A and B are shown apart, each in its own frame.
Chain A
């Protein structure tokens, strides 16, 4: 998938410079985007900034950037507006994977290609979209399992280790997929590590801190914690530090600045590096390729590599 994406970018750039130099730049393609809820968290805020910057840097595209403010009804109205404006492609960051499907179908009927970004829509909508551009959360979960397992092997405790999991908000695709990826992969790489319990931390650091406090009371032996994102991972780390329980291996996902800093301090072992900038650029490139009529993989993932204390120098500190 990584290869497909890289060649896609290369192809796009080459074609854009050679074949389309004259015709397209005279009439730039118009791409509309309706985002989920900019401003609610730093990831989405950075995403929007990166998207606008990437579009500004590209003379071939003109964008209409909208934000649904987390409101499904508003997002549906925005999709209809973009159809009315007859844009060349619509990018949607769904506020709700199911509720937007009818609007997506309407856009498809009107002949406007739709690309979904960041989190996918419900399966019944797959016929009406050209591509999904975003992170592969199942792979993220399985990579976290590998990070955890590799560390246990280094420590020589892969036969005895006990871990707990703090998952994201119940019902959220990202939370479900990451947990599934982790739970499926862990027994493959470290069959003797036991996952003793999973509880949701609702993407909330304080809630996660409370859950971890209860885990620490309940289990005398915890060797590792897998958290659905670094924000929750740091909450768990806070709880362990307060209880004076050293030596626990913390692995998260979506590397946040706080997670990166805790890794630099040696308190937090690893995470998954997911850049909102890559997310935004990939969405724009995917939409552009769709308009240009190129073959785009239906699930066009961008790479989210492993990051641990060992290789963190290769990555810049996340901005969120």
Chain B
């Protein structure tokens, strides 16, 4: 605290804002939309936005870890389609418990394929996960035969599977609780445990990490397992919320997830980033889309504004780090 006051006195407030620009931007957005629409800051709306951001958010937790370790994961959208189709399809056949178990195992296996190819074989993560994006989509189509899947309508209101997407505790929707619980857990692991430090080390300087005795391949492998685990959880929530699934339900989600992570200031070069900022990134993205909709802007305005905000956020982040707007190198 003393240090903080010291820095304030030294006129360092500018760099403090710059380094935590994401929080400032978040508050500014909330105020602006709050003024623009009297529905925006109602409890129902806030709850609705956080609830629908929860799935993107949960996937973004895993992807944040992958990105901190210096890699990418573009396969999460396809994996979400695969997971939901599978868990919904198996729900009526073998019951919700076994369905969740089998789906989680399959999704973790897909994550293991990613992790093996990128961690142990050392292939480029962009190429591997871009390939997996298509391959898993194909797998989903083979599995489902192209059909939409649904939980039997007569059991939709009685199965305990509904808890994950439609249940609530103390008036708060379950997806929100799961999102924040998982975010706290993953955030703790990454910030305060030796494992977390190894992830940062591998992303920040892989060579130094290896010389310090960190097994890079295992750490990278594990990040894809975490990512797949998060996708599995998101699949359960989505399946339960919709009580059905389509083969392409997760299409395009990989970009929303990656956008949230980048918006949160996690560097694509690896070695820096935080779960808290990713959570804020997720919420900003969710609130921008919701706010523009409440203000009555057409959908294409959402696309444009969303990407302007993301590019500005990344620019701000880079500019704050190097202390100037444009690159000093010609």
Contact = CB atoms under 8 A, between A and B. Distances in A.
Contacts of B244: 205, 234, 258
B194 interface: no
A261 B153 contact: yes
Nearest to A205: B242
Q: Which of A40, A44, A262 has the most C-beta atoms of chain B within 10 angstroms of its own C-beta?
A: A40
Contacts of B45: 214, 217
Given A199-B299, A231-B148, 9 more contacts: A40-B247, A41-B146, A170-B299, A211-B293, A213-B48, A214-B294, A217-B42, A217-B45, A257-B150
Interface string B247-276: 111010000000000000000000000000
Q: Which of A213, A256, A257, A262 has the most C-beta atoms of chain B within 10 angstroms of its own C-beta?
A: A213
A45 interface: yes
Contacts of B294: 214, 217-218
Contacts of B290: 214
Interface of A is mostly: helix
B146 A40 contact: yes
Interface of A: 38-42, 44-45, 170, 197, 199-200, 204-206, 209-211, 213-214, 216-218, 231, 234-235, 238, 242, 256-258, 261-262, 265, 320
Contacts of A204: 246, 248-249, 251
B300 interface: yes
Contact of B153 (A39, A199, A258): A258
A42 B52 contact: no
Contact of A320 (B147, B153, B300): B147
A39 B146 contact: yes
A45 B39 CA distance: 43
Given A41-B146, A170-B299, A238-B241, A213 B247 contact: no
Interface residues of B, number: 35
Interface string B120-150: 0000000000000000000001100111101
A274 to B, nearest CB: 15
Contacts of A217: 39, 42, 44-45, 48, 294
B249 A206 contact: yes
Given A42-B147, A42-B148, A206 B293 contact: no
A217 B148 CA distance: 29
B48 A206 contact: no
B153 A265 contact: yes
Contacts of B249: 204-206
Nearest to A208: B242
B148 A41 contact: yes
A246 B274 CA distance: 43
Contacts, number: 85
Given A45-B145, A213-B48, A238 B243 contact: yes
A280 B300 CA distance: 35
Contact of B147 (A45, A197, A200, A235): A45
A147 to B, nearest CB: 22
B148 A256 contact: yes
30 contacts: A38-B146, A39-B142, A40-B146, A41-B147, A45-B146, A197-B296, A199-B293, A199-B298, A199-B299, A204-B251, A205-B244, A205-B249, A206-B238, A209-B242, A210-B52, A211-B293, A213-B51, A213-B52, A214-B294, A216-B48, A217-B44, A218-B37, A218-B293, A218-B294, A238-B241, A238-B242, A238-B243, A258-B153, A258-B244, A262-B153
Given A217-B39, A262-B153, A206 B241 contact: yes
B150 to A, nearest CB: 5
B48 to A, nearest CB: 5
Given A261-B153, A262-B153, A39 B141 contact: yes
A204 B242 CA distance: 11
A42 B48 contact: no
B166 interface: yes
Given A199-B293, A199-B299, A217-B44, A235 B146 contact: no
Contacts of B293: 199, 211, 214, 218
A217 B48 CA distance: 8
Contacts of B247: 40-41
A214 B248 CA distance: 22
Q: Which of A39, A209, A211, A231 has the most C-beta atoms of chain B within 10 angstroms of its own C-beta?
A: A39
A40 B148 CA distance: 10
Contacts of A256: 148
Contact of A231 (B39, B146, B246): B246
Nearest to A242: B166
B256 to A, nearest CB: 11
Contacts of B148: 41-42, 231, 256-258, 320
Contacts of B37: 218
Nearest to B142: A39
A197 B42 CA distance: 20
Given A217-B45, A258-B244, A42 B146 contact: yes
